[in-house]
Chain A
């Protein structure tokens, strides 16, 4: 009797299921991050990130043939940023991020993973220095791009170690103070 042919598929299926479970957790983490960012729950967002987390916003500029870095912050620097921004004047119009996870690739050893997601960000006008009597409540397209995420997986739980927010939109108009 060939026992190999009976047991191997079971092991493969178990590994597959475990892999799927990790992939699902990574997707959930990305979507959870989107909700926390939309809700401006910065501490909850950073709780999804490991201590050595690096956050970047980048865009390739064909005008200068250069990969521009608009933001490059460590986790500690982001914490300080969030502490300081309430002291600044800012556009309080809320943002909505629509994220769609395209790919999740878990390393063979299961310790790390990468994921690519597309996003679209809309701004809902509140006080954007326009006539809020007329404009408040309207929605404008703000940014389009992709998230390139890296994860560390510990005890089956993924945590962000890097997010590169790569923008396709390069005309930034009034910009913003906040991570995307």
Chain B
């Protein structure tokens, strides 16, 4: 067909209404604000890995939906999560990204979470254990027992990741993500894992566009590495499997790394219970990704910042039992593709930033096609269709026309 005029460009595509979405879901500020309230404040987020806080009193800080969070390991070895907010005057309790409470801070004692502002102190269970000049100021009207931290749902699960939920009554984590993890659960839980790589990127795109890219493999045409190491019959037979709550798995196959000049087979360092050079992918609603390329595990955790801005935290993990030589090889396997100087990650950023630029607020709404049908194999876009069905349900908005309420799609159940 020749290039189209405005009317033709805006005509309804010859696909079903389940096979596209309206670009406003990626660019509208009101929709973005709603997503934080309706989705991110109610779903499980793997905020870090237990190996990032290996000792008692170690902590990490993070945030979900603009709520600051502190994760700490107690002397009882239990990892707990709290709002990183002092109940006194609402100050941030801990400013560092990571560290230990074993050493005292200028305003407080060792083994305490201390607010530097007025020296209120809390233990590793979130109990308030010290209010400076308590009786003089509050007499019997307010006491330590009334001013504990806000505790958050927190579990260590699926290979040692620390999962936090802002909702006190969430869907249980096992029910939320267990079936989607089943394909690699034995592998992840075989022995302790350890984070060897962390970096973060703030990218000018919507968080869902990043998740879309993780859950559709049609974009492997952008990655020279994936074409030469992947495109064969086994690759094209990989299945996208949809799970309850909007999650999707991409089935595995054997990657031919040696087809890329300079790369070798990764079979020797395969994770436990895996055949050589396998590649599993788990895409979790609303925007987390677990990506296991045989010898190295990558996770993406999104923190949406604006309709067209997202922070993505990237972690690389190996086995805690790695020798130094094994670890270096794993790091090279991970970073040659997925590191900040790796072959694929940079290409992915070019893709999703280009999308966001073309759909920036104020530009005409566009229809974004999710209509490839290939018997739910690797280049079928059923993963994205499944995701947006879930998104519509949580948001009570139609992905096709976000001004309209959600109505279940006819074929969603079949996918």
Residues in A lying within 8 Å of B, measured CB to CB: 57, 59, 61-66, 68-72, 77, 80-81, 83-84, 87-91, 128-131, 170-179
The smallest C-beta distance from B90 to any residue of chain A, in angstroms, reads 25
Cβ-defined contact, A175 with B262, below 8 A: no
A84 contact set on B, CB distance < 8 A: 224, 260-262, 343
Partner of A63, one of B198, B262, B328, B353: B198
Size category, B interface = 35 or more
The smallest C-beta distance from A127 to any residue of chain B, in angstroms, reads 8
B:320-367 near A, CB below 8 Å: 328, 331-332, 335, 339-343, 345-347, 349-351, 353-354, 357, 360
Q: How far is the CA of A71 from the CA of B222 in the complex (A)?
A: 22
Cβ-defined contact, A171 with B346, below 8 A: no
Q: Given the known A-B contacts A69-B335, A80-B262, A129-B357, are A64 and B224 also in contact in the complex, defined by CB atoms under 8 Å?
A: no
Q: Given the known A-B contacts A62-B97, A80-B261, are A172 and B201 also in contact in the complex, defined by CB atoms under 8 Å?
A: yes
When C-beta atoms are compared, the residue in chain B nearest to A87 turns out to be: B224
B:181-212 near A, CB below 8 Å: 195-204
Q: How far is the CA of A62 from the CA of B96 in the complex (A)?
A: 9
20 further A-B contacts with Cβ under 8 Å, apart from A65-B98, A70-B340, A175-B346, are A64-B51, A64-B195, A64-B198, A66-B195, A66-B198, A68-B199, A70-B341, A71-B341, A84-B261, A88-B225, A88-B347, A89-B222, A90-B346, A131-B360, A171-B199, A174-B350, A175-B201, A175-B340, A175-B341, A176-B341
- CB-CB nearest 8 A-B residue pairs: A80-B262, A129-B353, A175-B340, A172-B340, A174-B349, A129-B354, A87-B224, A64-B198
The smallest C-beta distance from B84 to any residue of chain A, in angstroms, reads 15
Is B254 engaged at the interface, CB distance under 8 Å to the other chain?
no
Q: Given the known A-B contacts A174-B349, A174-B353, are A65 and B52 also in contact in the complex, defined by CB atoms under 8 Å?
A: yes
The smallest C-beta distance from B154 to any residue of chain A, in angstroms, reads 18
Q: How far is the CA of A75 from the CA of B224 in the complex (A)?
A: 22
The smallest C-beta distance from B377 to any residue of chain A, in angstroms, reads 24
Most buried by A among B97, B98, B222, B341: B341
B347 contact set on A, CB distance < 8 A: 88-90
25 contacts between A and B (CB under 8 A): A61-B198, A63-B52, A64-B98, A64-B195, A64-B196, A66-B195, A68-B197, A70-B335, A70-B340, A72-B332, A72-B335, A84-B262, A88-B223, A88-B224, A88-B225, A88-B343, A88-B347, A89-B224, A91-B346, A129-B353, A171-B200, A172-B201, A175-B345, A177-B346, A178-B341
Q: How far is the CA of A138 from the CA of B120 in the complex (A)?
A: 47
Most buried by B among A64, A72, A83, A177: A64
A176 contact set on B, CB distance < 8 A: 340-341, 346
Cβ-defined contact, B261 with A63, below 8 A: no
A72 contact set on B, CB distance < 8 A: 328, 331-332, 335
A174 contact set on B, CB distance < 8 A: 201, 203, 346, 349-350, 353
